[in-house]
Amino acid sequence: MQLRNIAIIAHVDHGKTTLVDKLLQQSGSFRENQRVAERVMDSNDLEKERGITILAKATSVVWNDIRINIVDTPGHADFGGEVERILSMVDGAIVLVDAAEGPMPQTKFVVGKALKIGLKPIVAINKVDRPDGRPQEVINEVFDLFAALDANDEQLDFPILYGSGRDGWMALTPEGPKDEGLGPLFELVVKHVPPAKTEDGAFRMLGTLLEANPFLGRIITGRIASGTVKPNQSIKVIDREGKLVETGRVSKILAFRGIERSPIEVGEAGDIVSIAGLVKGSVADTFCDPSVDTPIQAQPIDPPTVTMSFIVNDSPLAGTEGDKVTSRMIRDRLFKEAEGNVTLKIEESADKDSFFVSGRGELQLAILIETMRREGFELAVSRPRVVFSQDEDGNTLEPIEEVVIDVDEEYSGTVVQKMSERRAEMVEMRPSGGNRQRLLFHAPTRGLIGYQSELLTDTRGTAIMNRLFHSYQPFKGDIPGRINGVLISNEQGEAVAYALWNLEDRGPMVIEPGWKVYQGMIIGIHNRDNDLEVNVLKGKKLTNIRTTSKDEAVRLTPPIRMTLERSLAWIQDDELVEVTPKSIRLRKRYLDPNERKRMKGKVDVA
């Protein structure tokens, strides 16, 4: 059977995963009456809740006796490591672009990688039924983007389709016909994408995705570059330098057949398969016949730009809500994560009680923390900090990001002011239709930590911000941090409504009555710039006198809800976020007030 391997590339929310649903449906991968979840490729709980793709996944459909392997890629640049590896498995790409928003930063990021390795793109303009759709202008923007990314003449001569992934149709014009479904897209893939590349020789495969299966152990997914592989065959694993990692036998070969993975008897060159049975082989290693000595070259991965400390939880409430609290358990889990995610870098501290975890962005690290807490882990994490670099002359360089903000015209002045305070340089400002402006900045990553929630507040929730790593540039100078101090509990116990009510004029709270608190825990935001220790356990003194003036009702203002991402962005260097399966608490790094005073100004943030 002929093979085609293709990736679907798009910005967040432009409809990749929904389109894959329709491709599976129309190719007969599941029955008419079969119950299938919406966005079937977003398989883990966090992907379903947030409506984003975090992990790249593969599926397969058969169209007119040709098997098409489809890879759904993440749209967030934070998960770009997934994308960079995935592109080595495919021979073509469908670039999906929203008919109203046009090409966005994350599209640029992935398309740039795809064009660099020579993939010929197919451009699909999605959501043409949107009332604010502007398909012809978007096509021109896509062409300009490809030209700016140094596409060659063959890549610039791309075929174009218009349609709606949600309604399940694609056609050569925005008007239709709509009755052919996604047939034109399938036919274009078969005609435009070259058959799967293969080489002569013994079995070789580059490991691209790694997962753990409770029954089969480690499963490695990749595309077979040459030769064939069968169950029980002896193979070896070599790393990028060609050094031997391990030898072993293949216990099972699984291939993607629709939304299921089925065991097969032989994996042939060009196909995307998963193999089980090896215990050490990882991503970017070459799995090959014992006679092979030269590894397949893996795509280079962009360096991490943000780092955080993961610390063993030492608060008075440690171990009361989670069952995985020791440094050994946290260490094993982090190193296991780093095996399958090549963009993460884990370093152990000298005291073995904390770990420095570096990644692509706050979102990537927040997703890791959220996943760990759902698995029963308890830990404390520090504020994200950027990873600095040095040039040849010893000058400090910092990561700069390209930031695109779509905002209503009335709020654009506020956004420009706030971004300039954060040392951002405006590169472009143009109208994007519907009384909206598109602002393009080059901003230091340091200045963007925590800006998302402030941006939404400033623009009444109407602004959309997208970020993409741009380059390392000379240090931009100091950026002002948080202006408010915090309210800190001075006792351990349960918070009392009466005490919180009396403290309301000091500032808004972040806890509710009945919450467990301890000395050094942050319970609110102070109206002034200094920290203040307060007593939240103080109940009302009861007397026998009953009057209406004495017995005023306690009416509390609802507290500020501190989500994980918001907490990470809000805390200062001398504060930590305590994460447990049930709670997210804010605390000072040093709980004892005397120790806090002694350590003031010399907090070790490394």
Distance, CA of 381 to CA of 314 (rounded, Å):
12
The H-or-E segment that residue 386 falls in is strand 385-386
Beta carbons of 70 and 258 less than 8 angstroms apart: no
126 annotated ligand binder: yes
129 annotated ligand binder: yes
φ, ψ (nearest 5 deg) of residue 500 = -65, -40
The H-or-E segment that residue 359 falls in is strand 354-359
Distance, CA of 575 to CA of 520 (rounded, Å):
10
Structure tokens at 260: 């299921």
DSSP string, 16-52: HHHHHHHHHHHTTSS-TT----SSTT--SHHHHHHT-
Distance, CA of 503 to CA of 498 (rounded, Å):
9
Structure tokens at 203: 């079995």
Q: Which residues pair with 437 in a beta bridge?
A: 407, 431
Q: Which residues of 150-168 are buried (b: 16+ CB within 10 A; e: fewer)?
A: ebeeebeebebbbbbbeeb
User: What are the CA-CA distances from residue 207 to residues 231, 240, 305 (Å)?
Assistant: 17, 11, 25
Tell which residue, 138, 82, 90, has the closest CA to residue 109: 82
18 annotated ligand binder: yes
The position carrying tokens 């709670």 is: 583
User: What are the CA-CA distances from residue 138 to residues 135, 144, 339, 430 (Å)?
Assistant: 5, 10, 39, 15
128 annotated ligand binder: yes
The position carrying tokens 């398909």 is: 135
3-state secondary structure 222-287: EEEEECCECCCCEEEEECCCCCEEEEEECCEEEEEEECEEEECCCECCCCEEEEECCCCCCCCCEE
Tell which residue, 400, 412, 468, has the closest CA to residue 438: 412
User: What are the CA-CA distances from residue 308 to residues 180, 305, 380, 469, 599 (Å)?
Assistant: 51, 11, 10, 18, 20
Structure tokens at 368: 């890791």
45 annotated ligand binder: no
Beta carbons of 296 and 208 less than 8 angstroms apart: no
Distance, CA of 116 to CA of 578 (rounded, Å):
42
573 annotated ligand binder: no
442 annotated ligand binder: no
Q: How far is CA 64 from the centre of its chain?
A: 36
13 annotated ligand binder: yes
By three-state DSSP, how is residue 274 classified?
strand
Query: Is beta strand 532-534 parallel, antiparallel or unpaired with respect to 486-489?
Result: parallel
Region of 296 (left: φ > 0; alpha: ψ -120 to 50; beta: rest) is: beta
The H-or-E segment that residue 497 falls in is helix 497-502
Tell which residue, 528, 508, 527, 529, has the closest CA to residue 586: 508
Q: Which amino acid is at 592?
A: D
Cα–Cα–Cα angle for 186, 190, 192, nearest 5°? 110
φ, ψ (nearest 5 deg) of residue 388 = -80, 160
- Considering Cα of 181, then 182, then 188, then 191, what sign does the dihedral take? negative
φ, ψ (nearest 5 deg) of residue 304 = -70, 150
Q: Which residues are annotated as a binding site?
A: 13-18, 126-129
> Which residues are annotated binding-site positions for GTP?
13-18, 126-129
